């Protein structure tokens, strides 16, 4: 791992509860979160903002079928006519 990011108290609390629900350690729970998020976010938006095009072969956004979500002020939600 390149570095260990610090989680806020709220994020740590949320991750802990996800880990408890899945009956796995928090380190594995965060991996599951990162496996799931690319299925929800807009690949074009993420790839368009990418600053390291040398890692595309390793990137989850390049390997998972995209479901057409969008990134809007840090919140993930499905695009609708009202939000598009």
Q: How far is CA 7 from CA 3, 54, 79, in A?
A: 13, 27, 28
Q: What is the pLDDT of residues 47-83, one digit of tens each?
A: 999 999 998 888 888 865 545 554 443 444 444 444 4
Q: What is the pLDDT of residues 5-37, one digit of tens each?
A: 799 999 999 999 999 999 999 999 999 999 999
pTM given for the model: 0.64
């Amino acid at each position: 791992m390149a570095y260990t990011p610090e989680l806020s108290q709220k994020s740590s609390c949320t991750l802990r509860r996800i880990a408890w629900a899945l009956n796995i350690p928090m380190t594995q729970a965060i991996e599951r979160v990162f496996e799931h998020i690319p299925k929800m976010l807009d690949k074009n938006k993420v790839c368009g903002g990418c600053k390291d095009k040398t890692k595309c072969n390793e990137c989850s956004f390049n390997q998972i079928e995209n479901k057409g979500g969008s990134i809007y002020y840090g919140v993930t939600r499905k695009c609708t006519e009202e939000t598009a």
